[in-house]
Structure 1
Amino acid sequence: MRARTTTTTLAMGIAATMTLAACGGEAGTGGSDGAPGETIKFGFLNGITGDYSAYYDGSIAGAELAIEEINEAGGVLDQEVELVTADNLSTVEGAVQGFSRLVDVDGVVAVGGVESDGGMAVFDAAHEQQVPVFCPLCGTSELDTRGGEYMFRLTGSDTDGGILSAQFARDAGYDSVALLVQNTEGASGPAEVFSEVFTDVVGGTVTGEVRFNPGAASYQSEVDQATGSGGDAIYVGAGSEAGSVLLREWERRGAEGQLFTSPDLVVPEIASLSPSLEDGVIIGAITAYDTTSPAYESYAERFRERTGEEPSAGVGDALQYDQYIALALAIAQAGSTDGAAVAEALPEVLNPEGTVVYSYAEGRAELEAGNEIDYHGASSSVDVNEYGNLQSPVFSEQHIVDGEWQEIRTIELDPELRAAYLDE
């Protein structure tokens, strides 16, 4: 069975969107609690175009696999599930507009797929309208202590990503690093953490901080400033579109040396740019998948069949899959699509104490038998803390090898670095 997916376009202006929203009914109450013949709609708010588009193909494949699995197991509350997608244009404005249309016009009961900039843009609206939101690609440090009621994320924090990059620089013996950073939440967050940890905790020096806005045709002057600042290495924080231009400029000028990167660049488009970036020239750290999990093994086989590719932790496809399985199980647990009830049920189906399940069908069967469950996903155990964040994310060091990002090793965050940063 193919996933039921519809697409909402955002060609209309904001004024038209708000007019439609006013006619769309009460927010956060889309779907129903078991009325026959209806569908339960999940929203997918993602950068289909723009700077986050590099994530889209893998993300939508993971999301649609989840919807198919749910429907093949009988749906939720005896209803079929439908995925409604909206392009947030990889912008804050697009995220606000897309969220409004998905909730108020399309009647989705929950929203997934969101990235850092979009997640923070809709944070207040999600809580005001009581709409559960999964932010599987939201590394932003803003969510470290803010989520947990209606916003959940299944990836590691940019706080940890920035600390890990500083840890890489320290362990490599670098005393000075230059920063080349895009002015967006997803890129700036880990860069700022890196800078603070590298200077205040490790004792290194930032020789220069070059900021830029996405969308330029060339970043020659910015690359010249960063490479000419005298640092032992360069930390690059950028989205994939701007990052591609930056790294081509870096290669054209014959630059050499070590590059560290934010998680946003650990995507296939960057890996295939040039052999000059391979074998540890550029290093990234991302949240790793638990490839030993039965959930991962089942998911990976289906993902390969659909895409011809391997699942990629850098793209976050398994995170997109897990969020919709988790939402379906939470609705089944709550016996309702009411946003407040679903949000309350999410930690109940994700955290320990219940029977461990690795699929929607297993989880539904246990719930129908009156048992508590602990869903272990394709990405990881997905246990969440009081703030809706992963309790124990595992990270991997990634290098480009033969035109692909590859996991070199799983890595533990130095607890002393983290403690020193958080105590400041």
Structure 2
Amino acid sequence: MERGACMMSIRGGRNSMMLVAVALAAALLVAVPGGTAPAPISFGVLAAMTGVHADVGAAILEGARVAQRAINDAGGILGRPMEIHLADTQSDAADAVPAENKLIGANRIVVQIGPTSTELFAVRPIIDNNRVPMIFLGGTTVFDTNTDNWIWRPNPSDSQLSVAMAVYAIKKGFRNAALVFYTDITNETLKAPIVKTFQKLGGKIVADVKLTAGQTSYRSEVERVVSAHPDVIFTQTDPGTAAVMYANFKELNNLAVPMIGTDLTAGSNYIKSVTPAVAHQVLVSLVGSTPPGGAADAFNALYAKVYTHQPLESANYAYDGTLVMALAIQKAGNLDPEKIVQSIPMVTNPPGAVVYNYKDGLAALTAGKKIKLYGASGPLVFDKFHNAYGPFDVVQAGLDGKLVTLMTISADEIQKSAQ
């Protein structure tokens, strides 16, 4: 039986027979020409629509929506349309649990896109117990050696992001760095690879300062950074903390030290909080790259049809993950969750005919061909831990707040620097 089918105990003679007859008639209407439209296949999106990580959640939802457009324009999955059910985690692990239960219980999802590292470990037992194939869209290094059968990550780990940040700093000639991160558990997994790579490449960490989110002043913490005389600052904070921190830096040293931030510092809310002018003056951010080519062209063209703005940072990963799940279901031939996860590497990893969009992938699978999806975020080759690797762009906000790419650091360079 497909996931999400409603099972019920029917008792009572004639009433029982009537219920069965109605159910059979409904099934026939779905299945035969001239009946109602085929029942949609439900994808869940579990993401932060509110709270401090709402920027990230918006990117996840938009990426999934763009993929939905590609899937349904091409004819759907197994001849059925794809629908999205959204649940808001409110940027909080505790709130993610009832949201997850709603997706599985009320919405009867087949597969899931999201959440991020903030909520993963709270909802993973629910995912495992209900055998829901899931695309995880977070960077936590704990997942680097994942053994969970149901969870797959198309975006690079924080360990790769951290290495890319250190590599860029060395490329720019910086040798004395300060770390300024807020006290979030995921930040600790970011910092260690930065330190290791930066020191390995000849750099020195001169200060490690932690900020408690939500304070009205960080003057004493900023004074510690300035007194250590760094020539660069590695950073990640939430937008509200950043606004106060940057104001304190402006007061004490007029933002004299350049900053290298994670992908979260490229979010529109972050840039708005610190102002585009300040971000342009002092900050660059490392974000997952969308390599040029057929997959990126398809992604950008579809995005322009669905939304009136440029693609949000990291939306390409949710887009790719949604296409991966759709093609895996098509390859599996049904909604058996075990067959779906077994089919994921069959549609992503070589060998196979390379496809750059859902339409071509669907056509090739229908023709009985082995395919290898190349995503908008890169090659999408999953290792034994269900992780994929990709390049990073160094981006900077313009005075209008729009991001401009300054440099791309390849996946190969990141891998070599991490060894």
Mean CA deviation greater in 112-121 or 158-167: 112-121
| Shift in alpha-carbon separation, 1:330–1:416, aligned structure 2, 3 A | closer
Q: CA deviation at 1:218?
A: 4.5
Asked if structure 1 preserves the Cα contact closer than 8 Å seen for 2:290 and 2:378, the reply is yes
Asked if structure 2 preserves the Cα contact closer than 8 Å seen for 1:44 and 1:85, the reply is yes
Asked if structure 2 preserves the Cα contact closer than 8 Å seen for 1:187 and 1:262, the reply is no
Question: Any gaps of 5 or more consecutive residues in structure 2?
Answer: 7-26, 31-37
Q: CA deviation at 1:135?
A: 1.7
Matches within 5 A, 1:28-47: 29-30=3-4, 36=30, 37-47=38-48
Q: Which of the numbers 384, 387, 392 marks the counterpart of 1:386?
A: 384
Are 2:299 and 1:302 equivalent residues in the alignment? no
Q: CA deviation at 1:415?
A: 4.9
Q: Deviations over 1:103-138 (max 9, x none)?
A: 2332111111322222343334333432111123x1
Look up the match of 1:406. 404
Matches within 5 A, 1:327-366: 327-366=325-364
Look up the match of 1:165. 165
Q: CA deviation at 1:418?
A: 0.9
Look up the match of 1:20. none
Asked if structure 1 preserves the Cα contact closer than 8 Å seen for 2:287 and 2:314, the reply is no
Q: What CA distance in whole angstroms lies between the structure 1 residues aligned with 2:147 and 2:280? A: 37
Question: Identity, % of aligned pairs?
Answer: 24
Look up the match of 2:96. 95
Asked if structure 2 preserves the Cα contact closer than 8 Å seen for 1:43 and 1:110, the reply is yes
Q: What CA distance in whole angstroms lies between the structure 2 residues aligned with 1:330 and 1:287? A: 24
| Shift in alpha-carbon separation, 1:218–1:89, aligned structure 2, 3 A | farther
Q: CA deviation at 1:316?
A: 1.1
| Shift in alpha-carbon separation, 1:241–1:66, aligned structure 2, 3 A | farther
| Shift in alpha-carbon separation, 1:340–1:239, aligned structure 2, 3 A | farther
**SS of 1:51 mapped into structure 2:** coil
Look up the match of 2:374. 376
Q: Which of the numbers 315, 318, 321 marks the counterpart of 2:319?
A: 321
Q: Deviations over 1:183-203 (max 9, x none)?
A: 22443322222123334x245
Q: CA deviation at 1:381?
A: 2.5
Are 2:283 and 1:282 equivalent residues in the alignment? yes
Q: CA deviation at 1:166?
A: 1.9
Are 2:269 and 1:269 equivalent residues in the alignment? yes
Letter in 2 for 1:44: V
Q: CA deviation at 1:147?
A: 5.0
Asked if structure 2 preserves the Cα contact closer than 8 Å seen for 1:186 and 1:264, the reply is no
**SS of 2:145 mapped into structure 1:** coil
| Shift in alpha-carbon separation, 1:353–1:203, aligned structure 2, 3 A | closer
**SS of 1:311 mapped into structure 2:** coil
Asked if structure 1 preserves the Cα contact closer than 8 Å seen for 2:70 and 2:302, the reply is no
Q: What CA distance in whole angstroms lies between the structure 1 residues aligned with 2:293 and 2:214? A: 40
Q: What CA distance in whole angstroms lies between the structure 1 residues aligned with 2:234 and 2:121? A: 24
TM-score when scaled to structure 1? 0.82
Q: What CA distance in whole angstroms lies between the structure 2 residues aligned with 1:217 and 1:108? A: 43
Asked if structure 2 preserves the Cα contact closer than 8 Å seen for 1:396 and 1:409, the reply is yes
Q: What CA distance in whole angstroms lies between the structure 2 residues aligned with 1:126 and 1:244? A: 37
**SS of 2:291 mapped into structure 1:** coil
Residues matched between the structures, number: 385
Q: What CA distance in whole angstroms lies between the structure 1 residues aligned with 2:216 and 2:198? A: 31
Q: What CA distance in whole angstroms lies between the structure 1 residues aligned with 2:416 and 2:372? A: 31
**SS of 1:225 mapped into structure 2:** helix
Are 2:239 and 1:237 equivalent residues in the alignment? no
Q: Deviations over 1:211-236 (max 9, x none)?
A: 23434454444334333443232211
Asked if structure 2 preserves the Cα contact closer than 8 Å seen for 1:44 and 1:86, the reply is yes
Matches within 5 A, 1:133-282: 133-136=134-137, 138-146=138-146, 149-199=149-199, 201-253=200-252, 254-272=254-272, 273-278=275-280, 281-282=282-283
Q: Deviations over 1:296-325 (max 9, x none)?
A: 21221231233222224xx21122122112
Measured on the aligned residues, the alpha-carbon RMSD in Å equals 2.6
Letter in 1 for 2:395: Q
Mean CA deviation greater in 151-160 or 204-213: 204-213
Are 2:61 and 1:64 equivalent residues in the alignment? no
Asked if structure 1 preserves the Cα contact closer than 8 Å seen for 2:298 and 2:356, the reply is no
Q: What CA distance in whole angstroms lies between the structure 2 residues aligned with 1:135 and 1:381? A: 17
| Shift in alpha-carbon separation, 1:69–1:305, aligned structure 2, 3 A | closer
Q: What CA distance in whole angstroms lies between the structure 2 residues aligned with 1:311 and 1:63? A: 12
Mean CA deviation greater in 158-167 or 222-231: 222-231
TM-score when scaled to structure 2? 0.83
Q: What CA distance in whole angstroms lies between the structure 1 residues aligned with 2:237 and 2:169? A: 18
Q: What CA distance in whole angstroms lies between the structure 1 residues aligned with 2:48 and 2:335? A: 26
Q: What CA distance in whole angstroms lies between the structure 1 residues aligned with 2:74 and 2:414? A: 42
